Amino acid sequence: MTIIDITPPVSTKTPMFPGDTIFSATRRWEIGDDCPVNVSKLVMSTHAGAHADAPLHYHADGKPIDEVDVSAYVGPAAVVHLTDAGPAVGKEALMHALDAISVTAPERVLIRTYDQLPAAWDENFTAIGADAIEWLAQQGCRLIGVDTPSLDPATSKTMDAHNAVYLADMRILEGLKLDHVAPGVYELIAPPLKLEGLDAAPVRALLRTL
């Protein structure tokens, strides 16, 4: 079995939604004559890099990330390529992509939309249509993951895809790096940090070949 890391590095260069917190790290303690350890202070958004959205992020009554069942983030996952999907991935395109790898009832789906993950903020990233989310839910899907900053367009005020996820009680991974992952079925291992009461948490997302 091979481990594939699908987590982009988090640094001051990490693209963020305009207005969101830019990553910073400060060394507070440093190894020296009077100190045996290095210790750093981090300042970052809960949505920096690869992360799991909690229902609280997109619904006032949603659970925070520490109360979400982590089993959704571990298990078989289908990776599909939809780099030519245009503004949004719809139900039909997703159905065809899954059919191409002979997957009919995926528990987890990871969608690659970029040929290469951009190094700067991209306002026009590919979103996921609510119809695609609703169809996945009907197939018993528990989690959807994307290589973009959000399931919905950057300027969305209605959050249709996120709301469809909420109604289906699915889970979300965003900001994955899938440039180097071939279409197929893998084991996903990507539990979020247990950050009490918060709307999202970073993950170290891994795929393992089956």
Query: What does each C-alpha distance from 146 to 60, 95, 126 come to in angstroms?
Result: 23, 16, 9
Q: Give the count of alpha carbons within 13 A of 4, CB side only.
A: 20
In 3D, which of 125, 197, 124, 206 has the Cα closest to residue 173?
206
Name the residues annotated as catalytic.
57
In 3D, which of 100, 97, 122 has the Cα closest to residue 110?
97
Distance CA 162, CA 11 (A): 27
Query: What does each C-alpha distance from 5 to 91, 127, 209 come to in angstroms?
Result: 28, 23, 11
